[in-house]
Amino acid sequence: MTSESTTDIVSMLDELLEAERSALLSGDLERLPPLLEKKARLIDALNAGEVEDESLLEALKVKLVRNQDLLDGALEGIRKVAKRLALLRRLHHSFDTYDDRGQRQTIDGDVVRRVERRA
């Protein structure tokens, strides 16, 4: 791999990492899968050659770590939302509360839905 093609790959990867960061910050997670595929191909191409300027790789590493932190934060947010939705779903079926003696009581919240047809 020539120095010029390595520089091109580093430049494309740098642009891609900026696009990935933008998608993560805006919450546009649907843009991530195609970016991930391109990123994997560019990293494979970069690994196949020799990089003469290590400072280029260091700059990419900083951006990769930054984006990984953003991705971890997004995943944590998704997990919290899923957990909250599960709790809300559970509340539709029952609700736990405590009486004046501190004893836990469960209040059933099952709603029976029926359709009544009249002629």
In a domain, 107, yes or no: no
In a domain, 30, yes or no: yes
pLDDT tens track for 36-64: 999 999 999 988 888 777 888 899 999 99
Q: Which residue range(s) make up the domain with 45? A: 3-86
Residues sharing a CB contact under 8 Å with residue 6, sequence separation 6 or more, in sequence order: 46, 49, 50, 51, 52
Exposure string over 58-97, b if 16+ CB within 10 A, otherwise e: eebeebbeebeeebeebeeeeeeeeeeeeeeeeeeeeeee
In a domain, 28, yes or no: yes
The number of distinct structural domains making up the chain is 1
In a domain, 116, yes or no: no
Q: Which residue has the tokens 């196949």?
A: 48
Whole-structure pTM over 0.75, yes or no?
Answer: no
In a domain, 99, yes or no: no
- pLDDT band at residue 112 using 50, 70 and 90 as cut-offs: low
In a domain, 80, yes or no: yes
Rounded CA-CA distance 30/8 in Å is 26
